[in-house]
Chains A and B, each alone.
Chain A
């Protein structure tokens, strides 16, 4: 029975916690760099609008950091509570990156506290700006370290498994496993991209509603330029990730592409549905594209899913998650590129409504892409918790009441999610940017450049 299966319930609860946490974690990694860019622009150009952007972004950021911290604490503990057998075995190897992640987070926490409470304390503006650097380093480093753990679960190495116990361990080899470079780079760049789009969304929304204050225009421009650069990075690293999968986890790539027969000149399958006979219908096929994605040449042979025994197949619905992620990634590149093109060549059309709407949509879509990307990555390695070594079912807890805990956590995340939205709305509605600029004596009321 579904309800009584602690393995399934543990998977759902872990998935739920991570899906909720990743929203805040993504912002936690990406927003500091945007704050830094804005503050730096403010100093360089001596433009208080940018400084105000940094201040207001930082203020909203604290709220999301708080929820990120508590949900991060939750997943840290849940690893041992829900997967005690897995942690007992893998704890021998993943201890180092987890430990280092905590240090990075510690470092970030200290400097974030200092940064937020020293806005007007130093005579030199640059000195305050410097305090955000350790926040960026800490946030990015913790994303890096924790992602190496996930990379290890995909391509475990650096030990020998003897009777269920890991021996002859090389901590660094485990940490820098084949999945580490592409996975960490992909995670970090998409955090930056998503955060840039979220901030762009806010500015675009203001402009869309008819507010034409220079503050919002500068906010939009800064975040769109950043978003375009990050989206190019995302596309390039995404391509490397595909090549990594072809080499090390061909069954994951094959499941994503519904690629069953091993063949050369393999086509890429977009969309479509699988019928009862396991055939793909209504899909758009791009010839050679999968071979190019996997190995960089149209003639390359790509391993099909049929090479993997059927009981070790990942669920085939990961295809949709994969496609969704890729489509949105393309869309984000396109819309930020369109903004820049119009900015350069047709500046009088810059704030046209379809473009602004497209940018606004980019914010939530970027989050959809983050979620579907993670679901693809995680579900795509099922049934393994340690790829090729330990099945997910072997790692789960035997304890009772997992179902009850699942209900409690659903309620918690609902409660936190709703409160976060209410609080953030309240914060920025109560004091719009124009009012704050006025109160700080930066400009007179009604002024717009």
Chain B
């Protein structure tokens, strides 16, 4: 494996981690607000908070890791994406800032505030939508690149079927992943009411999820045939993803092996995510930037990989400790600690 491929694989893995943990987080924020407004049992929201409170900051770091890491490994991305994404990137920052701080204000602050809860619930759905711009423009066709300038073509972006289908997939995925996780979590907490509610949400959002995937395939084949054909050539990966999806939904429907069901959800997104990523290579930004022409110099690549390994040696035991205390500790999950 070359340094380039190693670098992008590591970054892609972290983005995948962010996709899973942030989806749980964003969806939970939305459900929290929705449950509050529709006067569902207050205990259900306590359950959501019990999961989120110790981990929200960790979730955020996955994202920071990715965007610092990509500039580190591929400094040219800073030029292309940085120039093109000033406006959408700034909007994402503002949404993230509102969400993170109002989450903390609402949770740790003096009182449960309706406006604060709304702000963090609503931004939870807008953030994934605003992030999708990055994935969309990576397919090419939305930038005007001249010698000294990179400009995003807003007209092309807003009129593209592909860009809208990515937005739809992002939003329904957030709700689906989150509901699947919370179904499992509520069951562990021994809270039948919350469990039934989240199970309902999970099953409800499974159909649009798969529909959005089909839509993506179709619009991508129109927008970037080259990428589409390389996706077809590893079509078995996406078929596998479909199988994981069916198995996960079947388990939740029967209400059995919910932990396994969530692992299947992770595999479903994992296979699709890495299939998508692998078929997009070698391009970081089609057709301007590949992983080979934007790569950091070799000395720095070695230093980064060394730092990465050192960092992981520190992080993995710490993450394990955090998970054992908050995710796999029955008494904590049930609210007894």
Contacts and interface: CB of A to CB of B under 8 A. Distances in A.
Interface residues of A, number: 78
Given A114-B54, A117-B53, A412-B94, A70 B101 contact: yes
Given A84-B83, A91-B78, A67 B64 contact: no
Contact of A74 (B61, B69, B93, B300): B93
A449 interface: no
B190 interface: no
Interface string B35-59: 0000000000000000001110110
Contacts of A171: 299-300, 303
Interface centre among A84, A96, A400 (most CB of B within 10 A): A84
B108 A397 contact: no
Nearest to B106: A423
A105 B64 contact: yes
B1 interface: no
A148 to B, nearest CB: 13
B87 A405 contact: yes
A170 interface: yes
Contacts of B83: 84, 397-399
A113 B68 contact: no
Nearest to B84: A399
B107 to A, nearest CB: 9
B325 interface: yes
A136 interface: no
Given A66-B103, A116-B54, A87 B79 contact: yes
Nearest to A174: B300
A78 B79 CA distance: 12
Interface centre among A87, A120, A430 (most CB of B within 10 A): A87
Contacts of B126: none
Chain A residues touching B, majority SS: helix
A63 B86 contact: no
Contacts of B77: 80
Given A99-B68, A114-B322, A93 B90 contact: no
A92 B300 contact: yes
A62 interface: yes
Interface in A126-180: 134, 166-167, 169-172
A98 interface: yes
Interface string A70-92: 11111011111111110111111
B118 interface: no
A416 B73 CA distance: 33
Contact of A96 (B91, B99, B109, B300): B300
B314 A103 contact: yes
B311 A103 contact: yes
Interface string A302-319: 000000000000000000
A262 interface: no
Nearest to A88: B79
B17 to A, nearest CB: 11
B255 interface: no
B71 A112 contact: no
Contacts of B86: 81-82, 397, 399-402, 405
Contacts of A109: 57-58, 60-61
Contacts of B91: 408
Interface in B86-142: 86-87, 89-94, 96-105, 108-111
Given A111-B318, A426-B111, A63 B105 contact: yes
Contacts of B57: 65-66, 69, 109, 112-113
Contact of A172 (B80, B297, B303): B303
Given A107-B315, A409-B90, A99 B69 contact: yes
B6 interface: no
B58 A80 contact: no
Contacts of B99: 70
B72 A98 contact: yes
B1 to A, nearest CB: 19
A106 interface: yes
Chain B residues touching A, majority SS: helix
Interface residues of B, number: 72
B61 A66 contact: no
B68 A134 contact: no
A102 interface: yes
A95 interface: yes
Contacts of A70: 60, 96-97, 99-101
Given A98-B72, A103-B311, A169 B55 contact: no
B65 A106 contact: yes
Contacts of B94: 408-409, 412
A114 B318 CA distance: 10
Contacts of B65: 102, 106
A77 B67 contact: yes
B304 A95 contact: yes
A88 B75 contact: yes
Given A80-B81, A117-B54, A67 B296 contact: no
Contact of A62 (B82, B90, B104, B151): B104
A106 B100 contact: no
B63 interface: yes
B315 A399 contact: no
Contacts of B300: 92-93, 95-96, 169, 171
B318 A107 contact: yes
Interface in B9-41: none
B260 to A, nearest CB: 26
Contact of B109 (A80, A110, A118, A426): A426
Given A70-B96, A88-B76, A169-B299, A405 B90 contact: yes
B156 interface: no
Given A80-B82, A116-B54, A169-B297, A398 B60 contact: no
B122 to A, nearest CB: 15
Closest 5 CB pairs of A and B: A91-B75, A95-B72, A66-B104, A84-B82, A426-B110
Given A113-B326, A405-B87, A408-B94, 17 more contacts: A59-B108, A63-B109, A66-B108, A77-B89, A78-B90, A91-B71, A96-B303, A103-B311, A103-B314, A110-B319, A116-B54, A120-B337, A167-B297, A408-B90, A408-B91, A426-B110, A427-B110
Interface of A: 59, 62-63, 65-67, 69-74, 76-85, 87-93, 95-96, 98-103, 105-107, 109-114, 116-118, 120-121, 134, 166-167, 169-172, 397-402, 404-405, 408-409, 412, 415-416, 419-420, 423, 426-427, 429-430
14 contacts: A67-B104, A72-B64, A81-B90, A98-B72, A99-B68, A100-B307, A101-B68, A102-B65, A106-B61, A171-B299, A397-B86, A399-B87, A405-B90, A430-B111
